[in-house]
Each structure stands twice: as structure tokens, then as C-alpha cells.
Amino acid sequence: MKGNVIKYARDNIDTDVIIPGQYLKVHDYAELATHAMEGLDPNFHSKVKEGDFILSGRNFGCGSSREHAPIALSHSGIKAVLALSFARIFYRNAVDGAFLLPIEIDQDAYCDISEGDEIDIDIHANQIKNLTKNKTYTMKPFSEIIGKIIEAGGLFKYKPY
């Protein structure tokens, strides 16, 4: 999975900036996408391209349970968020709804990957290749259940029992 990185070098990017509360009444996915990241980066909508990745620090997606957050990012074209860590509801919403991949990275990848870098994520090898800088990083492997739900294509397609 190849794409370019949009980097927000900060911790605690919360759901109120990913999709502000005033849009919680909106359930049109395309409309939500036009407001993605509005609370932090008003230019996000104009610069994001299909297949891009977001890279950020610790506790990405903290705050509310709004599924609007992964929906707004996913319908903006974001295929994965790479972060040092994720808040729990954002993480499970992203996976169970099959909106995007939440990839946990280490400090090395976080510091080294720059805005605009082209990277290639291989979730089977747990590897991230930086094609721009010609470097390789490791990602934290998904836990067993998360791997299975991702493989199935979301919680409703996963048959555990």
C-alpha cells in the first residue's frame, strides 16, 4: 500500500479537531470529508489526495466515540493513520468499520518520515518503506483479533463464532 504522508507532528490529536462537534448531526460521508481536520488544518481538504496517509504522535483520535472521525478521514482518501499510539474508540472504529488502518509506529519512523514522503506499508511483513528516503522501519504488529478483523474486511465480515 503506497501513498504520501501528511504529517502532524504533535500528540493528542482529538476527535474535536478531526471533525468538530457541530458536524455530528451530518451523516453524509462526502460532506463530512469536506470538514475533516478542520479544527487543526483548514487546508487539509484541499491538499489531501486519494491514498494519502496521516502521520502523527501519541494518543491519536482521543476524545469522543464519533465514528464521524475515521469516516471523515477515510472519505477524504486517507488509507491509514500512522501514529505513536491511538485512543481506543478511534482505533476500534477504524478497524471494525473497515475505514482505515491504524498503524502503530516507533519514534524512529515518527521522527524520520517527513511531510510529503512516499511510503509503502506492508502489514504482512510489519514493515514501512520510505521510498523517498530509502529507509525501512518496523510497525507494531496487529493483535490477533485486530489482524483477523482487518483481514475479513470489518467486524460484520468477521465470523468468530
Partner 1 sequence: MNITEKILARASGRQRVSPDDVVFANVDKVMVHDVSGPGVIKVFDKLKKQGINVDKLWDPTKVWVAEDHFVPSADKVSAENIVKLSNFTKNYGIEKHFKYGMGQYGICHTLSHEEALVLPGEVYVGGDSHTNTTGALGSFACGLGHTDVAYVLLNGKIWFKVPQTLYFKLNGKLPDHVMAKDFILKIIGDITTEGGAYKAMQFGGSGINEMSVESRLTLCNMTTEAGAKNGIVEPDQKVVDYLSSRGATNISLIKGDDDAEYEKIYEYEGSEMEPLIAKPFSPENISIVREAPSVELNKSYIGSCTGAKYEDLVAAAKILKGRTVKIRTEILPASISIYKRAMEDGLLKIFLDAGVTVGPPTCGACCGAHMGVLAKDEICISTTNRNFPGRMGHVDSQTYLSSPLVAAASAVTGKITDPRDLK
7 lies in the binding site for partner 1 (CB under 8 A): no
Beta pairing partners, 56: 8, 83
Rounded Cα distance between 129 and 119, Å, is: 5
- Please identify which residue in 9, 107, 114, 156 interacts with partner 1, judged by CB under 8 A: 156
Stretch that binds partner 1, among 88-96, 100-108, 112-120, 121-129 (CB under 8 A): 88-96
CB contact at 8 A, 76 and 6: no
106 lies in the binding site for partner 1 (CB under 8 A): no
**Closer CB to partner 1, residue 85 or residue 136?**
85
22 lies in the binding site for partner 1 (CB under 8 A): yes
Stretch that binds partner 1, among 48-56, 85-93, 104-112, 113-121 (CB under 8 A): 85-93
**Closer CB to partner 1, residue 66 or residue 79?**
66
**Closer CB to partner 1, residue 43 or residue 143?**
143
Q: What angle do CA 61, 155, 27 make, to 5 degrees?
A: 55
In the complex, least distance from residue 3 CB atom to partner 1, rounded to whole angstroms: 24
- Give the helix/strand (H/E) hosting 145: helix 144-152
CB contact at 8 A, 86 and 104: yes
Continuous H helices in 7-134: 15-18, 29-34, 44-47, 68-74, 88-96, 107-112
102 lies in the binding site for partner 1 (CB under 8 A): no
